Chains A and B, each alone.
Chain A
Amino acid sequence: MALTGLGRYEDAILSFSVSVALDHDMGAVRHEMTHALHRFLAGAPAGYRARCNSLGVLAPYSLHGRRPRFLAASYPALNCSDCEDSFSGEEDFLQVPQKFSSTSLGGPAAPVVPQESTRLRSLVERIFQEVEKIKRMDVKLEDLVVNPDLVEQSDFDCVLCCRTLWQPVTTPCGHTYCWMCLDRCLDYSFACPLCMTSLADYLSSSQKAVTEVIEHSLRLLLPAEYLARQVTHHQELSELVQLWGGQVPVFVCTTGFPGVPCPLYVYEPRYRVMMRHCAEAGTREFGIVACLTKDPGNKSYAEFGTMLEIRDWILLDSGCSILTTVGVRRFHVLTRGERDGYDTAKVEYFRDQPIPADKLPDLKYLHERVRPKAWQWFNSLEAELQSEIVRAFGQMPELEEDWPSLADGPVWTWWLLAFLPLSQELKVEILATTSLEKRLRAIDKTLDRIQAAAVIKQGQDVAVATRPEELTSNSRHQANQTQQTGESLYEQERQSQHTATSSHQLPHPIFNASFLGDNREQVMESS
């Protein structure tokens, strides 16, 4: 097929014929062979083609009678029933015997096309020769042993990891790497590591497959090395799991919350590797933490984060992927590490403190007050904004019957926190608290402040308002404000999918916290 790609159709036809003779399986190459034959014949000058057509009329014998015999003769291993199939290129097939037969049999038109027929004849000759060779070889195929002294172990080394090839993949430019090694390179660049040819088309055509010839040769010629490499591969996989027994891979991006979906767009090379490791290790879980500094040289991420479970994973042609994840439990970072360029951390999981029986009535009362308030606020938002929220984080979760005893309390609190207009630092702080009461109070205060800020804002607007449309209701105005912020960010995020410059979170409304005023840090009670 590579030969077809290079335009060397004669060689391609030869190779196809040989492979058919060897494999006795026409199926795999049939389409490609038809294509190559087409091209080979179409390559003839137009005048010549015209002459061939006219020859067809002049031919003194029945074409249909000769065709199967001709094909059967040139492709001995080819099943005759195949020849009877109607190829899309039937017309060209019909020309083959014409050109060939008319010249070789010394037909009336022989002197008309001497040059091209020589080419064709020599091709058929070559096919015959090759097939004859195979026939002779067939008998001795069992004796065909490669001298082990001639096999260099290093010939089968991957140039990238310097180990015996594992699941070898050969690029269209003819370079072979371990499947995983090539995958990692493609995270960084579409260029073939050895010749720098772009592999973008190859990648998007999803043609990547293990090169069986090499895989087979390895097994046959270097069985010990093959086995050793297999053992190493499995060891590495289990190491990955072991490493994560104490350490979790950490995606530095935003704060995730227990029970709440967190859609992610993964494009950075290090996180692509991380996701593959997650898949290979079979854990399907990784930690997400907020990035607290924008300075790439001095990165720091939050001490508290959430484990996310991968629910769905769409791998795009570009190598980027879209993840559907949901928060499962909270963790505290104990020590920080690194692996293959991404962050890892030793973590400790934690849950809410159990609620003492005597505190329960008060807490229930607080809860009964805050939940409707939250619901009311959500409903006061613009319909478009609401649907954005629902798309990203789902509907407001139903209240669990056993909510006071849950590890992370009622999920609706986290759902609300996911889009409440709070700073990243504050969200981390709320995530870290083990008291449901504190969390509810923080939500309560935030909602109060939003209302108050909206009232003040409206008051200012009334004072300066000249146009009637500015006199909207509190919530409506505030929703407008937040929505604008949300939309502009949304736009930015959408662009980031192409330019890969912005954050990883998928489009969802992100609120501007500015209208909370300067005291917003006091939302969390200190005691």
Chain B
Amino acid sequence: MTALPRRIIKETQRLMQEPVPGISAVPDDSNARYFHVIVTGPEDSPFEGGLFKLELFLPEDYPMSAPKVRFITKIYHPNIDRLGRICLDILKDKWSPALQIRTVLLSIQALLSAPNPDDPLANDVAELWKVNEAEAIRNAKEWTRRYAMDN
């Protein structure tokens, strides 16, 4: 393995020194490319009050390719499937090397505030979100209470 690129070191330092409100990202002790992430559910969203755990991995060719991010905490969201995989354009074809860990996590937080059932990853959730939004939001709140508030 080659030495950790300056870019990753700088990003990590900045994440530690000037953390983004509502987001914490800590590199793993044994692997500086693996981050333990906690995102707080945004205010006025069904996820408010929840603490969502994610894992983030920077591949060997980062920043040329996007970080790999996954929700560990179960979440009821049309763009996040039961394995925690996230449907977000900047993690796929809209990735740019000028984006950073920080901007990726902010985008994920924004996705919690603005679910997009028209581009679903979890089909059943998206369907309910479109047909009966009130019930979907109730479910999301229930899941948040059950899975994202205990720890």
Residue B11 at the A interface, CB < 8 A? yes
Contact with B along A270-301 (1 / 0, CB 8 A): 10000000000000000000000000000000
Query: A337: nearest residue on chain B (CB-CB)?
Result: B1
- A-contacting residues, B3-38, CB 8 Å: 5-7, 9-11
Given A160-B97, A185-B97: A341 in contact with B65 (beta carbons within 8 A): yes
The minimal Cβ–Cβ distance linking A170 to chain B, given in whole angstroms, is 15
- A-contacting residues, B91-137, CB 8 Å: 96-98
Return chain B residues, CB-CB under 8 Å to A188.
64-65, 97
Query: Contact: A339 with B2, CB < 8 Å?
Result: yes
B interface: dominant SS: loop
Query: Contact: A196 with B96, CB < 8 Å?
Result: yes
Query: Contact: B98 with A194, CB < 8 Å?
Result: yes
Which of B6, B65, B97 has the most chain A CB atoms inside 10 A of its CB? B97
Query: Contact: B2 with A160, CB < 8 Å?
Result: no
- Complex Cα spacing A161 to B5, Å: 8
The minimal Cβ–Cβ distance linking B62 to chain A, given in whole angstroms, is 9
Residue A269 at the B interface, CB < 8 A? yes
Query: Contact: A340 with B96, CB < 8 Å?
Result: no
- Complex Cα spacing A185 to B1, Å: 22
Residue B60 at the A interface, CB < 8 A? yes
- B-contacting residues, A150-198, CB 8 Å: 159-163, 181, 184-185, 187-189, 191, 193-194, 196
Residue B49 at the A interface, CB < 8 A? no
B interface bracket (residues with beta carbon within 8 Å of A)? 10 to 19
Residue A470 at the B interface, CB < 8 A? no
Contact with A along B53-80 (1 / 0, CB 8 A): 0000001110111000000000000000
Query: Contact: A162 with B64, CB < 8 Å?
Result: no
Return chain A residues, CB-CB under 8 Å to B96.
189, 191, 193-194, 196
A interface bracket (residues with beta carbon within 8 Å of B)? 20 to 34
Query: Contact: A160 with B7, CB < 8 Å?
Result: yes
Query: B99: nearest residue on chain A (CB-CB)?
Result: A193
Return chain A residues, CB-CB under 8 Å to B63.
160
- Complex Cα spacing A339 to B64, Å: 13
The minimal Cβ–Cβ distance linking B94 to chain A, given in whole angstroms, is 8
Residue A243 at the B interface, CB < 8 A? yes
Query: A344: nearest residue on chain B (CB-CB)?
Result: B2
Query: Contact: B6 with A340, CB < 8 Å?
Result: no
Return chain B residues, CB-CB under 8 Å to A196.
96
Return chain B residues, CB-CB under 8 Å to A162.
6-7, 9-11
Residue A348 at the B interface, CB < 8 A? no
- Complex Cα spacing A188 to B94, Å: 12
Query: Contact: B11 with A341, CB < 8 Å?
Result: no
Query: Contact: A160 with B60, CB < 8 Å?
Result: no
Return chain B residues, CB-CB under 8 Å to A125.
none
Contact of A187 among B2, B60, B64 (CB under 8 A): B64
Return chain B residues, CB-CB under 8 Å to A270.
61
- Complex Cα spacing A111 to B49, Å: 75
Return chain A residues, CB-CB under 8 Å to B6.
161-163
Query: Contact: A340 with B98, CB < 8 Å?
Result: no
Which residues of B are interface residues toward A (Cβ below 8 A)? 1-2, 5-7, 9-11, 59-61, 63-65, 96-98
